[in-house]
Amino acid sequence: MTSAVRRLLALSAALLLLPAWAAAQESATITGQVTTAGGDPIAGATILVEGMNLGTLTNVDGRFMLVIPASRVMGQQVDVTASQLGYKPVTETITLTGGSATLDFALADDPLRLEEIVVTGQGTQQERRKLGVAINTVDGEALSRSNESNTVAALAGKAPNVEITSNAGDPGASAYIRIRGAASIVGGTQPLFVVDGTPIDNSSHRTEGSHAGTVTSNAVIDLNPDDIESIDILKGAAAAAIYGSRAANGVVLITTKSGRPGQSRFTYSTNFTFDEVNATVPLQTSWSQGLHCAPLTPEERTEEGCSGPDDEFAPTTSVTWGAALDPGTRVYDHANEVLQDGYRFENNLTFSGGSERTTYFLSVGRMDHDGTIVGNQEYNRTTVRLKGTHSFTDDLTIGGNFAYTDGVGDFIQHGSNVSGIWLGALRTPPEFNNQPYIDPETGLHRSYRYPNPTLLARGRGYDNPFWIANEILNEADVGRAFGNVSADYSPMPWLTFNLVVGADYRNDERKTLFPKSSSSYPNGQLIRANFVDLRYDESLTMTATRDLTPDISGSVTLGQNLNHAEYRRYQTDGSNLIFGTEELDFVVTPTPDEYKEVIRTDGYFGQAQVDFYNLLTLTGNLRRDGANTFGGAGSHFWYPGVSASFRFQDLVNVDFLSFGRVRAAWGVTGRQPEPFSNISAYTKGFFSDGWLGDGVQSIYLGQEGVVRQGTAGNPDIEPERETEIEVGVDLAFLEDRVNLGVTYYDRQTEDAIIEKPVPTSTGFFARYENAAEWYNKGWEATLDIVPIRTDNFSWSIGGQWARNESCVTDLAGANDVYLAGFTGSQVSLVAPEDPSDPEGTCHPWGVFFTDDFVRFGRGEVVGGVEIDNAYPDAAPGDVYIAEDGFPVYDSDLNVSGDPNPDWTAGIRSTFTFFNNLRVSALVDIRQGQDAWNGTKGALYYFGTHADTEEMHGAGQPWVFEGHGPGAGTEVMRNWNTWTIGGIGSGFTGPSTLFI
């Protein structure tokens, strides 16, 4: 064959193959629609080509278009998956060829989210249906509907046995979270918060004492709730054991929103909310102020046994509530005059999208919140978040996540201090006008105890509430940056390495100014403080996943973790202002204070999971932790956890049962000792009576001295230990229209750290010891029902219920351990009545321990008479009434109430019209808890509470035998709360902006 013929044949062959080659080089376009099982379009559904990192989102009509580059079209088969939160994902297999292909999906409802992948901590994941532990998930949409600016507060009523208590209704106020009861005394009960794999700070700091000052913000308030995709709450020890010695209080895993492959899109949301106080303290308007004689006339002052000019007062020889007001006397509403309507205005803008290898998400949020008290009360927050990923190869993906928050707040003095706004307002007699709070003649601060001021640097008894609101400054300026960098490397389809390195830096600058004439500091005080919280965290994991047989699969994760938590405080208290100033240069006596603590933790962990025949899943994990706060050189502790999940719906022939699972788990978690618990540290020498705040500093040769702290360190201190067993069942009926979950748990706390008293001859008052024990056990239940579901209307109703029972079984010989409290009441851990029967005679964790009236059933002796024997028919707990008709004061402390609720619940209901209009509401319930109303008790004492208007003896003197401050139980009451929140509506417009 000649060369010419060969060239001709080669050219002919090339021409014949040209169409096939051209087709192979043509891109593939997949179009289609995603709908519900009833045919309604699903907007925002994710379309993902498995193994190619390609995807897009559906528009408002549920339609999508996905273009695959020609270079990746090789005639191969690929799996295309459509998914959306609340629906079961559907996967279809197609052959990739050049040109167009149509692929439609119909998604069935999945209210249980059984197919969803759940983050279980430290880089581990698991399908929800295979979980052997109780993990409650709250999605970002539910958080948004709560209309709360604090992410913690937004969790109220959304998960069983997750108690949320707000510090106050003030802007920027902190919210407290407790999961399955209390787990620690000295270490608090706040869980570990983890955002996108990196632990973050959720502390709160005070510049003043525990009974005074302003509300404080918990650090999670810096997180914009609109940035959150979902929150997973690890409640049990088996679920949280992989976090080891930091997980005794549970773990809250927060996943923020991410970009998705597909077209770029903008979203904008705005929310305007009014705040109104729905109840105030009732005050009497019939009687003048009598205690301390002010502001009575000179004649009235003499009658009351007082003397002196109007600008002075002297102790009384009798205590009265004052004389009756003359008819027609003008009175003032002191409970409401300092209130106003507040508002909160929020705006959030996001920009997100992605390509075949890159995703990005950018958000900017702004919140302005003005409070319900006049004057300096507001909190403003600006947030920015940038998050993205890029796949450099099919095996390597790098991600970054950065957030910045600027929070600025002005707060009002609260608490039990004479410059607290409610003491000044509610104790003012009804006929005194608090306006103007500046005397027009002298220009000085006036109050009801000093109505005609002539002196500047003198206390007013109680500050005028308008002075407090407008002149006393309490400012906070928070700057916070946090985030992480991650890398995922998969050298083989079954093997993945994941590295996450994160940091969290928070700087909280505070300024508190009491001008001269403030009752707390008549000569004025200026406090400047900086609180710095710094966290570093590194976590490296290796995960191997293999199918061992066609019916048995498994995975193994091994990892290590390093964590550095540092807190620094720089504070200077400047007393005696030279003149009204906000600079420390102009104070007479500056008192600096500096503090630093560091906790370093190293951990190694592993988790193994095996699934048999898609019916039984066994999971085990183990962590080994060491920390510098542990006693003993090189001490490390182990934290194991195991769980099992058995899904039986396919084994029973019940048509209406769509899902059934039983689960069981056991695990151990810990709580690290506080810094300096393992050493006897030194502190600045300062001695005070603990009441007035004035004290003596330790000075030697002109230098400030130091002293040993009052509590001795324990070089053998160990982490607190929680051991828990958990069992449960989850059922779904009628194609998942009815879903029920029930869980029982029993958690034992051992080696709880207390400050155990020691002989003062040791040079200390107490020593840190692993000594206390208690338990928490209870039930949790969830129920979700969809009674109505049609093409144009649906109604869903859901609820959760929980009951926790706690019992303090051992306090190492101590009768009680003080937790918190003030005059008239305290909250304490109290030892069992009978040490030989601790569980039968124990008290709940943190009961009210107060003075009381003499009661039957306590073996009391009054006037030499044993009252239980003298009155055998009296029921235990009844108040003993003496012959004069009055109860007898008992100064001994007794258990008088339980602030823990008998049970809690949450009920939510949602109506959806035409798939785009939704109306929802939520009710948060707490039933059967006791509360001590200290405000009411104080107002009884001052005679301004409305109850004193008609009390027995009003208007005439009464004298009875004995004396005392009044029993704390007098204002104890059963407190049931039903809080209605999250009422709102949402509308999805007819179009979405794509670029």
CA distance 162 to 177: 7
Q: What is the pLDDT of residue 299?
A: 42
3-state SS class at 310: coil
Domain ranges of the chain: 24-107, 117-260
pLDDT in tens, 705-725: 777 888 898 999 999 999 999
What is the number of other CB atoms lying within 10 angstroms of the CB of residue 581? 15
| DSSP assignments along 430-458, one per residue | TT----SSB-TTT--B-BTTBSS---SSS
Confidence label for 312 from pLDDT (cuts 50, 70 and 90): very low
Q: Helical H runs in 207-254?
A: 237-240
Q: Which residue has the tokens 């020609």?
A: 70
Q: What is the pLDDT of residue 704?
A: 64
Q: Is 820 exposed, middle or buried (0-12, 13-18, 19+ CB in 10 A)?
A: exposed
Q: What is the pLDDT of residue 17?
A: 43
Strand partners, 29: 67, 100
Report pTM: 0.87
Q: Is 450 exposed, middle or buried (0-12, 13-18, 19+ CB in 10 A)?
A: buried
3-state helix, strand, coil in the chain (%, to 5): 10, 50, 40
Residues 6+ positions from 184 with CB-CB distance below 8 Å: 248, 249, 671, 720, 749, 752, 753
At residue 943, φ and ψ (nearest 5 deg) are: 75, 20
Confidence label for 760 from pLDDT (cuts 50, 70 and 90): confident
Confidence label for 311 from pLDDT (cuts 50, 70 and 90): very low
Please give the helix or strand (H or E) that residue 19 lies within, else none: helix 3-24
Confidence label for 298 from pLDDT (cuts 50, 70 and 90): very low
pLDDT in tens, 43-68: 778 888 877 767 788 887 888 888 88
Q: What CA–CA distances, in Å, run from 548 to 494, 556, 610?
A: 12, 12, 9
- What region, left, alpha or beta, does residue 964 occupy, with left being phi > 0 and alpha being psi -120 to 50 degrees? left
pLDDT in tens, 71-98: 778 788 888 999 887 788 898 888 888 8
What is the number of other CB atoms lying within 10 angstroms of the CB of residue 99? 10
Please give the helix or strand (H or E) that residue 487 lies within, else none: strand 473-492
Q: What is the pLDDT of residue 873?
A: 92
Confidence label for 222 from pLDDT (cuts 50, 70 and 90): very high
Residues 6+ positions from 956 with CB-CB distance below 8 Å: none
Q: Would you say residue 774 has pLDDT above 60? A: yes
CA distance 247 to 637: 13
3-state SS class at 196: coil
* DSSP β-ladder status, 616-627 and 636-647: antiparallel
Question: Which two structure tokens, joined as six digits, stand for 974?
Answer: 């059963």
Query: Do 24-107 and 117-260 fold alike per CATH?
Result: no
- The DSSP symbol for 373 reads B
Residue 706 · residue 682 · CB < 8 Å: yes
| Torsion sign, CA atoms 439, 444, 447, 448 | negative
Q: What CA–CA distances, in Å, run from 778 to 179, 774, 782, 800, 805?
A: 12, 14, 14, 14, 6
Q: What is the pLDDT of residue 974?
A: 87
Q: What is the pLDDT of residue 991?
A: 43
CA-CA-CA-CA torsion for 522, 460, 515, 568, nearest 10 degrees? 70
Residue 626 · residue 639 · CB < 8 Å: no
The CATH architecture to which 24-107 belongs is: Sandwich (2.60)
Longest Cα separation, the chain: 139
Amino acid at site 668? V
The CATH architecture to which 117-260 belongs is: Beta Complex (2.170)
Q: What is the pLDDT of residue 491?
A: 93
Confidence label for 322 from pLDDT (cuts 50, 70 and 90): low
Confidence label for 763 from pLDDT (cuts 50, 70 and 90): confident
* DSSP β-ladder status, 917-932 and 972-987: antiparallel
What is the number of other CB atoms lying within 10 angstroms of the CB of residue 270? 10
Radius of gyration (Cα) for the chain, nearest Å?
A: 33
Q: What is the pLDDT of residue 685?
A: 67
285-294, 389-398, 571-580, 582-591, range with greatest mean pLDDT: 389-398
Mean local confidence (pLDDT), 387-404: 94
Average pLDDT, the chain: 85
Amino acid at site 544? A
Amino acid at site 646? F
Q: What CA–CA distances, in Å, run from 636 to 246, 290, 547, 642?
A: 13, 64, 35, 20
Q: Which residue has the tokens 């929800």?
A: 128
pLDDT in tens, 932-948: 888 888 888 888 899 88
Please give the helix or strand (H or E) that residue 509 lies within, else none: strand 495-514
pLDDT in tens, 611-622: 999 999 999 999
Q: Is 547 exposed, middle or buried (0-12, 13-18, 19+ CB in 10 A)?
A: exposed
CA distance 833 to 74: 79
CA distance 421 to 413: 6
pLDDT in tens, 490-518: 999 899 999 999 999 999 999 999 999 88
User: How many residues can be counted in the chain?
Assistant: 995
CA distance 669 to 242: 8
Residues 6+ positions from 437 with CB-CB distance below 8 Å: 445, 446, 447, 464, 465, 466, 467, 470
Q: Which is nearest to 555 in space by CA: 127, 16, 964?
A: 127
Residue 45 · residue 32 · CB < 8 Å: no
Residue 269 · residue 347 · CB < 8 Å: yes
What is the number of other CB atoms lying within 10 angstroms of the CB of residue 42? 22
Mean local confidence (pLDDT), 966-991: 74
Q: Which residue has the tokens 């979405």?
A: 992
Residue 555 · residue 126 · CB < 8 Å: no
Percentage of the chain lying above the pLDDT 90 cut? 49
Residue 531 · residue 505 · CB < 8 Å: no
Q: What is the pLDDT of residue 11?
A: 45
Confidence label for 115 from pLDDT (cuts 50, 70 and 90): low
Question: Which two structure tokens, joined as six digits, stand for 802?
Answer: 């929980």
Residue 259 · residue 354 · CB < 8 Å: yes
Strand partners, 662: 646, 729
Question: Which two structure tokens, joined as six digits, stand for 948?
Answer: 């004193």
Strand partners, 64: 32
Q: What is the pLDDT of residue 975?
A: 85
Q: Would you say residue 16 has pLDDT above 60? A: no
Looking at per-residue pLDDT, the higher value among 2 and 914 belongs to 914
CA distance 381 to 718: 40
3-state SS class at 282: coil
CA distance 5 to 499: 62
CA distance 544 to 497: 9
Residue 163 · residue 181 · CB < 8 Å: no
Residue 56 · residue 31 · CB < 8 Å: no
Q: Would you say residue 272 has pLDDT above 70? A: yes
Residues 6+ positions from 781 with CB-CB distance below 8 Å: 160, 740, 741, 742, 743, 800, 801, 802
Mean local confidence (pLDDT), 388-392: 93
